[in-house]
Structures are given as structure tokens and as C-alpha cells.
């Protein structure tokens, strides 16, 4: 496995070593020892989640104000634009975002450490998204940063993918600005 640093400290793109031939492919999608060595961390994962979404669905930008979750994310079917926003007040990258396309073809993963907001936009007809978390889901602490907050200014590839307006949950329609988030965390 290979780890690539991103523009946000502690966020890594992970590229597994894929063995493939005419029959299909095989790769090790997770190995705790290798993950710790590549990221320089020592996180344990306590929960695995799996979502399926239609094209144009935007889930995020989610975080927990307590019991912050680190997330190791990947796509097993389809294609998404995956985004992390640094909302750690003491970070030199505070308020900055990093995004990349994750797909079943690339097999790439993204490590989003605790303390960041995370979300994704589905670019294919459907996408299945898997993620491991370092803490349990705690709905009482869940919050959302607005996907279109002008201060963060995420460059979502909407028009490039024939998406006029993303489909949001009721919760994400009520998401907070970065300034409001700063008062929470």
C-alpha cells in the first residue's frame, strides 16, 4: 500500500496494491499495522458503515462535536467526489478543503482523521460507499457544515457531471456555516 500526503495535515490518500488478471482482482483493503505505519497514527476502528446512494446525492459535510470520528473511506461500486474540510481550530489548514474522486476502478481510499468534516457527492448512477470509523456514531453530537459555505468554497464537480442541484437530506439542508461550526468545536 502507498500513502500520499494531501494539502491538509494528517489526511492521506491510500492506494492499495491490486493484483489482477483476466479472472478479476484481489487486494488487501485494510491492515492495521500497515495503516498505522503509513499514517503515523494509532487509531482503532470500532464501526464499519455502508451506504448506497443515487447520482446527485450529496451526503455531508458531517462531523461529531464530541466522540469525533476518524474515517477510512472507499467506494466499492460507482464513483464519488469525496471531500474533507479541516475544522480543527488549531490546525494550519483550518477552513481548507481537500477533495478527490474515489471509484471502484481506482480502489483508492481516503483517511480523514478525527476533527474534520466529511462528505461526498455521487457522480455515477449509483455508488456504494464503505467507511470504517474510530468512534461510534453518536447522533446527539452530530452536526453538518454547509456543503456550499462560501467561506470554505468547495469546488463540487456538479455541472461537469450533469448535476444541476445536489440532493440533500433534511439535516444537511439545515447545515451550519464555518463560523457557526467554529463556535461549536
Cell numbers given for 102 = 474515489
* Tens-binned pLDDT, residue by residue, of the chain (185 aa): 999 999 999 999 999 999 999 999 999 999 999 999 999 999 999 999 999 999 999 999 999 999 999 999 999 999 999 999 999 999 999 999 999 999 999 999 999 999 999 999 999 999 999 999 999 999 999 999 999 999 999 999 999 999 999 999 999 999 999 999 998 87
Question: What is the per-residue burial (b if ≥16 Cβ within 10 Å, else e) of 94-103?
Answer: ebbbbbebbb
User: What pLDDT sits at residue 157?
Assistant: 98
Q: Which residue is listed with cell 466529511?
A: 118
Q: Say which residues have a Cβ less than 8 Å from residue 161's Cβ, sequence separation at least 6.
A: 55, 123
Give me the numbers of helices (H) and strands (E) for the chain, helices first please: 3, 13
User: What pLDDT sits at residue 121?
Assistant: 98
User: What pLDDT sits at residue 99?
Assistant: 98
Please name which of 32, 39, 33 lies closest in space to residue 14, comparing C-alpha atoms: 39
User: What pLDDT sits at residue 101?
Assistant: 98
171 vs 152: CA distance, rounded Å: 19
Give, in order, the Cα–Cα distances in Å from 92 to each of 42, 67, 84, 110.
Answer: 22, 22, 15, 20
User: What pLDDT sits at residue 11?
Assistant: 98
3-state secondary structure of 173: helix
Q: Which residue is listed with cell 450529496?
A: 58
Residue 175 gets the label, from left (phi > 0), alpha (psi -120 to 50) or beta, of beta
13 vs 18: CA distance, rounded Å: 15
Cβ neighbours around 180 below 10 Å, total:
13
**Any idea which residues carry the catalytic annotation?**
62, 131
Dihedral sign of CA atoms 3, 6, 10, 13 in order: negative
- Fold of the CATH domain 45-182: Jelly Rolls (2.60.120)
Amino acid at each position: 500500500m502507498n500513502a500520499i500526503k494531501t494539502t491538509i495535515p494528517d489526511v492521506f490518500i491510500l492506494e492499495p496494491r491490486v493484483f489482477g488478471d483476466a479472472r478479476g482482482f484481489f487486494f488487501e483493503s485494510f491492515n492495521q499495522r500497515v495503516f498505522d505505519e503509513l499514517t503515523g497514527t494509532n487509531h482503532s476502528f470500532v464501526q464499519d458503515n455502508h451506504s448506497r446512494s443515487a447520482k446527485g446525492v450529496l451526503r455531508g459535510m458531517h462531523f461529531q462535536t464530541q466522540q469525533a470520528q476518524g474515517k477510512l473511506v472507499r467506494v466499492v461500486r460507482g464513483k464519488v467526489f469525496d471531500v474533507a474540510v479541516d475544522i480543527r481550530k488549531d490546525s494550519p489548514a483550518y477552513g481548507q478543503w481537500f477533495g478527490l474522486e474515489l471509484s471502484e476502478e481506482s480502489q483508492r481510499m481516503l483517511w480523514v482523521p478525527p476533527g474534520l468534516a466529511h462528505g461526498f457527492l455521487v457522480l455515477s448512477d449509483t455508488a456504494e460507499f464503505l467507511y470504517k470509523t474510530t468512534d461510534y456514531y453518536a447522533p446527539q453530537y452530530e452536526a453538518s457544515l454547509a456543503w456550499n459555505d462560501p467561506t470554505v468554497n468547495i469546488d463540487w464537480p456538479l455541472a461537469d457531471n450533469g448535476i444541476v442541484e445536489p440532493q440533500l437530506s433534511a439535516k444537511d439542508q439545515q447545515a451550519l456555516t464555518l463560523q457557526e461550526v467554529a463556535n461549536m468545536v
